[in-house]
Amino acid sequence: MIPASQSLLHVRQQHASDSEGPCHSPRLRDCKVCGRLRRLEKEIVQMQLALQALLDEKDALESRPDHDHSSIFDRLPVEVMSIIFAFYASKLVRKTSPFTLGAVSKRWREIAWTTPEIWTDLLLYKPRTRKMATCIQLAKDWLSRSGALPLFISVHISSADGELQLDQLISLVDTLNQHCHHWYSLDLDLPLEALCRLDVSASMSPTVYRLALAPDSDGEFRIPGLSRLKPRVVEIHCIQLTHDSLDWSNLTSCTIAHLQVDRILEIFRAAPHLSQCRFEYVKKLDTSLGTEEIDHVTSSRLDSLVVEFSCGEAASDFLDNVTLPALTDLGIHGDRCELHHEPLISFLNRSSCGLKTLSVQEPDYSDQGLVNILRSTPSLEELFIRDGFVDEAEVDLHRAFIDHLPTEETPVPVSTQPLLPLLRTFVWAGQGPYPWSVLKNFLVPLSKGSRRRRPLTSIDIQCSRNDSEPIPYIGQDVITEISKYTDEVEFSLYIEEKDDHFVDLLALSLERLENQSR
C-alpha cells in the first residue's frame, strides 16, 4: 500500500506539469486569467506543503511499534482477566462451557488454559454415544487444567443411553481416580462395572465432602477402592452398601434408598457425627442374621430423620432398635402400607426427644392411632399431614384439639391436657372437601376460662378435587370466626380448580358472599 504522502506528491507533480507554460497574451504581462491561475498555483503549493506535513506525521504515527487498536478488555492484566474468567465459569453465571473462552483469541485461550479456577466443575450428562471418546478426552484435558483446586464432578452416563463402550467409561473412572485427592463433590450415575473401578489409593488421606452414587442396577456390592474414603455427605440409590464400604467416621448427612434395617443400624454405629439422614423404601431386617444378633443403637447427634418404609414390619424393626435423643424433625411414611402407631410411640418415649416437627401420611395410621402419636409429642411446633382424606375419622382427629375443654355433650373433658399446646404451624394436604368448620378447633383456649391459646402463626390447607365436584366454599360463620385471628394467624386455604392449579378458596368464598349480598 502506497503511503498517503507519496500519493499526494504524485498528484502534485502531475498537476504542475499540466499547468506550466507561458501566457500567449500580446501584452507584456499575464492576462487576467493567467494571473489568477498563477496565484491559485501558489496557494495550492502552500496547502500541499501543509497537508504533506500532516501526512508525514500520520505515517510516522502509524509505523510506531506501540500503535494498538485492541479492546480495553484485551489490555487488562492477565491476573484481572483470570478473575473475570473464573466468575464467568462459576455456577453463579455459567451458561456455556469454558471452552468458549478459548475460542475467542489466542491470548484468551492462553489465559483460560492456565486459570485453574474455571476447570473445577466437570459435568458430563448423557453424551451421544458416537461422541463418547471425544467427551472423555475433553474430560481428561479439563481435569488436567484444574491444578490443585477442589473438584466438583458430576457424570451421568447410563447403559440405557445406548451402546456404551465399557472400556471408555473405565478409562474415564481411572482418570477421576488420578484426581481423588482433590475430590470435593463426586456425583456419579454410571454402570455398576464402571463404579466398581473407583479407587482412592492414590491419596494418602482420601476425603470428599459429598459422594453420590447411582448405578444402573441394584443389589449389594462393595467397592474396595473406596473403603478408606471419608465423605461428609452421602447419597446412594439402588445399592446395598455394607458398613465397610466407606469410612463413615466423618459422615454428617446421608440419603440412601433400598436399605435393609440392619444396614441402617450398621451405619448408625459407624457414624458418630451423623445429624441428618433420609432413608427411602427401607426393607425389613435380614432374618438370616437372627434377631438375637441385632444390637440396639443410640445415635446421640441425629436431629433430623425422614424415613419411608416398605412395610409395617420394616417400621417396627427400625423403631424397636434405635434411640435418638437429639431428634427434633421427623418425617415417617409408608409406601402404600399401614403402619402401627405403638412402635412409633414407644420409640418417641424411649428417645425422650423434644420433637419440634412431625410429618406423617394420613393413610398410614388409624384415626385413634394418629391422635395417640400426637399426644406423645407435646413439644411439637409443626405438624404436616400428607395424603389426607376427609371422613368421620378425619373429623375425630380435629375434634381431639378440643378434647381438653368441657362441652354440653361431655361436661367432663375427654383429656386432661390440650393436644399440641405449642403448635405454631399446621399443614394439611389431601383429597377434599375439607371440613372447614373444624378450623375453629385450633383456635380455642388451652384451658377453660383462659385467654391463652396455641401460638399458631400459620394454617395451610390444600385440597385436591375432581373437576366434576362442586367447589366447597367456606361458610360465612367460619369466615367470621377465623377473621378474628387474621392479624396473628396466616390462613392459606387452597382448593384445586383444575389440573393441579390451586386457587385461594378464602378469597373465592369472600367474593361469593359479596356477590350474594348485592
How far is 107 from 427, CA to CA, in rounded Å? 58
Residue 141 one-letter amino acid: D
**Position 23 confidence tier, pLDDT thresholds 50, 70, 90:** low
Domains of the chain by residue range: 4-17+30-59
| pLDDT for the residue numbered 234 | 96
| 65, 71, 74, 76 alpha-carbon torsion, rounded to 10° | 90
Structure-model confidence comparison of residues 363 and 355, the more confident one? 355
Residue 184 predicted with pLDDT over 80: yes
Residue range 319-324: average pLDDT?
Answer: 97
Average pLDDT, the chain: 85
Q: What is the pLDDT of residues 326-336, one digit of tens each?
A: 999 999 999 98
3-state secondary structure 416-440: CCCCCCCCCEEEEEEECCCCHHHHH
Q: What is the pLDDT of residues 367-402, one digit of tens each?
A: 899 999 999 999 999 999 998 876 644 567 889 999
How far is 516 from 518, CA to CA, in rounded Å? 6
Residue 458 one-letter amino acid: S
**Position 208 confidence tier, pLDDT thresholds 50, 70, 90:** very high
Residue 235 predicted with pLDDT over 70: yes
| pLDDT for the residue numbered 393 | 45
Residue 70 predicted with pLDDT over 70: no
Q: What is the pLDDT of residues 88-142, one digit of tens each?
A: 777 655 656 777 777 778 888 888 888 888 888 898 887 666 677 788 888 888 8
SS percent in the chain: helix, strand, coil, step 5: 40, 20, 40
Question: 277 vs 106, 233, 254, 263, 322, CA distance in Å?
Answer: 49, 9, 5, 14, 14
**Position 480 confidence tier, pLDDT thresholds 50, 70, 90:** very high
How far is 72 from 81, CA to CA, in rounded Å? 11
Spatial contact of 216 and 196, defined as CB atoms under 8 Å apart: no
